[in-house]
Amino acid sequence: MREPVVRLQRGRDRSVRRRHPWVFSGAVASVEGEPAPGATVVVVAHDGAVLGRAAYSPSSQIRLRLWTFDDATPVDDALVQGRLDLALALRRRLVLGPDTDCARLVFAEADGLPGLVADLYADTLVVQCHSAGAERIQQVAIAHLRERTGAARVVLRSDAEVRRLEGLEVKSGVVAGPPVEGGLVRAKERGLSFLVDVERGHKTGFYLDQRDSRARVRAVARGRVLNCFSYTGGFAVAALAGGAEHAVSVDTSQAALELAERNVAENGIAASRHDGLRGDCFDVLRGLHDDGERFDLVVLDPPKFAPAARHVDKAARGYKDLALRALKLLSPGGLLFSFSCSGAVDRALFRQVAASAALEAGRPLMLLGDLGHPPDHPVPTSFPEGEYLKGYWGLAA
């Protein structure tokens, strides 16, 4: 049977020739055949030259996600399995080991598997399918990863809002292996132990992308630490396991704060060294300043402020406000760790926001380094959109 063909508008093939994996709906000139959602289609330039093969998403603005960039490579189970093996080999080489049993095994486009995310927490594999094409390869991917890792169970977390943009229904729950006892999985990160809610927690249960930044905090933490947007206490635990005397975790979720307390206890840290404070971080930062509180290290790790480019200006104001309030709370020589997970906010703008906040606070801020993705969240040079997490750490005079 003849493969469906998607022809691009004249001049819209340049990004594909540079190996960018996305083609937006406006670049499509015509569709030959009737490809179903997620079906593999041949992508051709306006002159008919074959550019590669892609997964077709008729309901999404991202109409095509490319599997291949040539006419020779077949899109089949062997291709998926081969790319999974390469992805797993990279994580075993750079992340997984005796003291770390949790990592992102598959990072979608970065690993040549658009829309597919797979995270490992000890013996539990958590899988997300964000696109129609990923949905098509789900079963092959799960079976292969389970065989290669020996995972006891697989949890499906295909519940992100992006699925609705693909015209896909939300799916979640244990799809292989025994139920999650007590709802939590115990995972190790650089010798620290964390309880992870893989079925209901944020993302796949834990912010694996902050591994390297948690290690940095652990190495430099001293005195009092304020962990804003703390979720389940990853940065607080890291700080207390390092040199911090006391940490305060702030979050709007009482359940997250309770799990943070359990994670503190998991690591043999006295409960008296950690406090959970429920509230809006903007308001809490203001209140702590009014109360005369001071900290030696502040972490700002907010949720996505700019889901799209049109939200960037508002997001920048939010990041500035947070940094301004944090700088006012830092003791002389205190350290600020600030992050943005908004892909639409680039690193240059985020640094500009830091400079503006420091100027308004009257606190010189010396940047000590950039922060971002660990190696299990690689970013292809042909796909800069893959770099969503950026941050910095700096010293406030």
Could you tell me if residue 229 is left (phi over 0), alpha (psi between -120 and 50 degrees) or otherwise beta?
left
SS (H, E, C) 147-160: HHHCCCEEEEEECC
Q: How far is CA 32 from CA 6, 23, 115, in A?
A: 6, 16, 24
Q: How far is CA 156 from CA 28, 142, 194, 256, in A?
A: 32, 10, 20, 21
Q: Determine whether 341 is an active site residue.
A: yes
CA distance 52 to 59: 21
CA angle, residues 306, 312, 317, in degrees to nearest 5: 100
Q: Are 376 and 105 in contact (CB under 8 A)?
A: yes
Q: How far is CA 103 from CA 56, 90, 96, 108, 239, in A?
A: 29, 11, 7, 14, 21
| Beta-bridge partner residues of 369 | 393
Among 102, 129, 228, 341, the active-site one is 341
Backbone angles phi, psi at 352, to 5 degrees: -60, -40
CA distance 175 to 152: 11
Catalytic residues: 341
